[in-house]
Each structure stands twice: as structure tokens, then as C-alpha cells.
């Protein structure tokens, strides 16, 4: 049984990129885990429901982290003086190799999960590693915590160190099918599997062919990386000369939205043809501004994507990003959009607060279905933010307080959280 209840507070959400709704001292109705709207007065029919008054606090849709790497959480904030491919070899691969050891994985994934619980994130799309037992463990931990997630066992059958390189395409695909079967048996409520070819350099054509088949067979979505770094793009051109651009290297195997939903992280350097294909295929873009700074990748043209009506959300991309905070991702996205406007292209207007908040909630939430808004019918995912510990010498308007929370709040200021109407704390 999912719960039904009412909470009251300053309710904020973005039904569209250009529209931030702020309903002060209003009521939010949850019926069987689903949002049934925002009301200025408590409807008579709801008076019998459990009620909690959040007082002077802010109630927002839970944030959706559209791209992050759970096993990299351990080394976030270290080894930052490197670009993508060198960083993968020096930082990511050695750490990911440790997850063959389930005891280590449990220790590390518990730290990751605990932190995600305390954060503003309610749902995330997550890379695990190539290791099935550790991936299942991560899924169990997230499910137990009540978080919503897509989690992927990673596929890599080339250009990886021996400790991470799967024996063959066939073996990688067979292990993936076995993992998907185990996921079906587990029948988690909020955590689901997602196919995860790491990126084109890590996956042979044979492997991608097999994964395309698995996507059709199991009806699961797919996540990967796209056009993040200039050297990476050159490498993909060499590896895959038959593709006119990077996105086609996935599309050839149906892994670009044809066989099922797809989310691609970064798209920093996607050209017009790639963006057109992304639009036609309904592929989601996970914009990860902090990672793109730390790895010196550049700044994705978010304005161009919004203007084209692309489906898009924000990701922390830990450990390319050092912070697991989606509030930080919102301000990073705004700041980076201002720099792109200033340094590269004055036709790309900087993101407004409402646009970045939209991306971080409803934009990325759409990958999970009706998620990320307080409109009628949306999953009841919510976080409550408290700015009491951010003292101010005067009374501020709710809109100012909300913006201030985006820039200044951390996990200390998050005091309640629900996923599908189930309260996490």
C-alpha cells in the first residue's frame, strides 16, 4: 500500500523551463504515492488524511541525477589535474577494478548510498562496474534506502585494463542477460536495470550488436557517453569510420533510442547532425556541467538543446564531478551557460534559474515517466528545504529564498524526502 497524505509549505516546481511556480503556504496532496495537485486551501475531501505542516520550509520535487558513477564516488575530488582518457586510466579504471571484491563494494556503495539519501536527489541514473554481484548489491542498497534509480552493469570488451575487460563480446552479453534475469527475480520497486555500454571505445561492434538485441528482448533503457571530449571524439572516428558522427556509432545498433529509451551523458561537442538525430530518436541528454569543467571538456550548448526542444536533464557525473549535489549542478549549469555566452557564442542566452531547476527535476525526471513535477498524476517525489540555518538580516520573498537555497544549501538544509510517496527521512 502506498501512502496518502497532505503536506503544507512553500511549494515550488517548474512545469515548463520558463515557468517557476511558487505557491507559498500551500497544500500538496499525495494519493497512493501519486501527486494530486497543489491547493491554496485544503480540499474538504482531504481533511481526514494524515497531515504535516512543514511551516516556513520549501517543498520541491525530488531532484533527478541523470548521470552518475557510483563506484567513482570514492575518488571524487582527487586526481583532478587530468583530461578524460588519461583520467580514466589513472583514476577511474583502477578504482572500478576493486569492485570485483564484494566486501569492498559493500563498504563503498554503503557510503555512496548514505550520501545519496541525505542529498536532494530522489532518483538517479547510475553506472556501476562490469561486476554483476557488486551491481546487484548496489541495486539492493538503493532499493532498501527507498531511492529511485536505473542502475547499469557496465559493458567493456576492449580498450580496458585486464581487470575490467570482459573476456569477449559473447561473455559480456551473456553476463548481462544473466544479470537482467536476476533483476527480474528481485522485482525491486524503485530500482531498475539499464543497459550500460561504457562508451564506443570500450565496446566492440559485436558487443553493441548483442546489447541491441538484449534491449529489444528485455525492454530496458540504455545509457552511455556521447561527444564529451575532443580527443575521445577523434578516437571514436578512428574506431568507427563508418559513422558520420559519434551518435551514429550507437545508432547503427539501435542503441540510440530505436530499441528503447536512451540517455547520453555530456553532448558537449555535438554538432547539428548529432543534435538532429538526438531529437528524432527522442534520446535524453544528461548535461553534467561540473564534470565538463573538471575534465576540461568544455561547456555543452544547453540553450541550443532547449531551443530545439530536446529532452534533457542534469547529472553530477561523479567523479568527473566532485559533488553529488544536484543543487550544485543547478548553479553549475547556470554559471557555465553564462561563460559559454561570454566566451564562445552570444546567441546562446544564459540559463535562467527556472530553466536549470526544470532540467534538474522534470527535465531529467521524464526519463522515469511522470516524475519531477507536482502536476496531477506525477510520482510523489519531494524534498523539503529549510533555510533557517542560513540567517538573513531581513525578510526575503519566497522567490529570493528559493534561489538562495539553490546557491547556498547543502545536505544540512534538506530535512525530509519522499520517493513515490514513501518517506525516506
Binding residues vs a second copy (CB under 8 A): 74-81, 98, 104, 107-108, 111, 290, 293-299, 322-323, 331, 334-336, 338-344, 350, 352-353, 391-394, 396, 400, 403-408, 410, 412
Closest CA to 221 of 130, 302, 275, 282: 282
Cell numbers at residue 75, please?
575518488
Cell numbers at residue 150, please?
536505473
Considering beta carbons, is residue 222 or 293 the nearer one to a second copy? 293
Cell numbers at residue 320, please?
568527473
Closest CA to 11 of 27, 29, 31, 32: 27
CA dihedral 137, 138, 143, 149 (to 10 degrees): -140
Smallest distance, Å, CB 389 to a second copy? Answer: 11
Q: At what angle do helices 398-408 and 326-343 cross, to 10 degrees?
A: 90
58 near 409, Cβ under 8 Å? no
118 near 414, Cβ under 8 Å? yes
Measured distance CA(245)–CA(273) in Å, rounded: 8
Smallest distance, Å, CB 199 to a second copy? Answer: 19
Smallest distance, Å, CB 131 to a second copy? Answer: 15
Smallest distance, Å, CB 261 to a second copy? Answer: 31
Three-class secondary structure of residue 388 per DSSP: coil
Considering beta carbons, is residue 324 or 419 the nearer one to a second copy? 324
Smallest distance, Å, CB 224 to a second copy? Answer: 22
Measured distance CA(207)–CA(246) in Å, rounded: 17
Question: Exposure string (b/e) for 279-288, b if CB count within 10 Å is 16 or more?
Answer: eebebbbbbb
Considering beta carbons, is residue 195 or 318 the nearer one to a second copy? 318
Considering beta carbons, is residue 208 or 340 the nearer one to a second copy? 340
Considering beta carbons, is residue 277 or 333 the nearer one to a second copy? 333
Smallest distance, Å, CB 363 to a second copy? Answer: 18
Smallest distance, Å, CB 394 to a second copy? Answer: 7
Entry field: residues in the chain:
425
Considering beta carbons, is residue 172 or 323 the nearer one to a second copy? 323
363 near 373, Cβ under 8 Å? no
Smallest distance, Å, CB 378 to a second copy? Answer: 27
Considering beta carbons, is residue 73 or 176 the nearer one to a second copy? 73
Considering beta carbons, is residue 331 or 361 the nearer one to a second copy? 331
Amino acid at each position: 500500500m502506498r501512502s496518502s497524505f497532505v503536506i503544507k509549505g512553500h511549494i515550488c516546481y517548474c512545469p515548463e523551463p520558463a515557468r517557476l511556480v511558487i505557491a507559498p503556504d500551500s497544500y500538496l496532496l499525495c494519493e497512493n504515492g501519486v501527486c494530486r495537485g497543489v491547493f491554496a486551501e485544503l480540499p474538504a475531501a482531504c481533511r481526514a488524511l494524515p497531515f504535516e505542516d512543514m511551516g516556513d520550509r520549501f517543498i520541491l520535487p525530488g531532484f533527478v541525477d541523470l548521470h552518475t558513477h557510483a563506484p567513482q564516488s570514492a575518488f571524487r575530488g582527487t586526481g583532478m589535474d587530468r583530461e578524460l582518457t588519461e583520467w580514466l586510466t589513472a583514476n577511474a579504471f583502477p578504482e572500478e577494478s576493486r569492485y570485483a571484491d564484494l566486501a569492498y563494494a559493500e563498504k563503498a556503495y554503503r557510503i555512496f548510498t548514505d550520501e545519496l539519501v541525505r542529498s536532494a536527489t530522489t532518483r538517479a541514473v547510475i553506472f556501476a562496474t562490469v561486476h554483476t554481484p557488486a551491481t546487484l548489491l548496489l541495486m539492493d542498497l538503493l532499493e532498501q534506502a527507498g531511492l529511485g534509480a536505473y542502475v547499469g552493469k557496465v559493458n567493456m570488451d576492449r580498450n580496458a585494463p585486464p581487470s575490467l575487460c570482459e573476456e569477449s563480446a559473447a561473455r559480456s552479453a551473456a553476463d548481462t542477460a544473466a544479470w537482467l534475469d536476476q533483476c527480474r527475480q528481485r522485482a525491486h520497486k524503485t530500482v531498475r536495470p539499464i543497459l550500460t555500454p561504457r562508451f564506443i571505445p570500450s565496446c566492440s561492434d559485436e558487443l553493441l550488436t548483442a546489447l541491441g538485441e538484449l534491449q529489444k528482448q528485455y525492454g530496458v533503457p540504455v545509457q552511455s557517453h556521447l561527444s564529451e571530449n575532443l580527443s575521445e571524439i577523434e578516437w571514436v572516428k578512428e574506431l568507427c569510420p563508418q559513422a558520420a558522427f559519434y551518435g551514429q556509432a550507437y545508432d547503427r545498433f539501435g542503441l540510440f533510442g530505436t530499441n528503447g529509451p536512451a540517455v547520453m551523458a555530456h553532448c558537449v561537442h555535438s554538432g547539428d547532425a548529432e543534435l538532429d538525430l538526438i531529437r528524432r530518436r527522442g534520446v535524453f541528454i544528461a548535461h553534467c556541467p561540473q564534470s565538463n569543467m573538471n575534465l576540461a571538456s568544455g561547456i555543452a550548448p544547453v540553450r541550443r538543446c532547449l531551443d530545439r526542444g530536446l529532452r534533457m536533464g542534469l547529472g553530477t557525473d561523479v567523479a568527473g564531478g566532485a559533488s553529488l549535489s544536484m543543487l550544485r549542478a543547478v548553479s553549475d549549469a547556470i554559471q557555465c551557460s553564462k561563460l559559454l555566452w561570454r566566451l564562445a557564442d552570444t546567441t546562446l542566452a544564459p540559463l535562467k534559474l527556472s530553466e536549470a531547476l526544470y532540467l534538474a527535476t522534470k527535465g531529467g525526471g521524464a526519463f522515469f515517466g511522470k516524475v519531477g513535477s507536482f502536476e496531477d498524476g506525477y510520482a510523489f517525489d519531494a524534498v523539503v528545504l529549510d533555510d533557517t540555518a542560513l540567517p538573513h538580516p531581513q525578510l526575503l520573498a519566497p522567490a529570493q529564498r528559493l534561489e538562495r537555497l539553490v546557491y547556498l544549501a547543502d545536505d544540512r538544509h534538506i530535512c525530509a524526502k519522499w520517493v513515490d510517496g514513501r518517506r525516506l527521512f
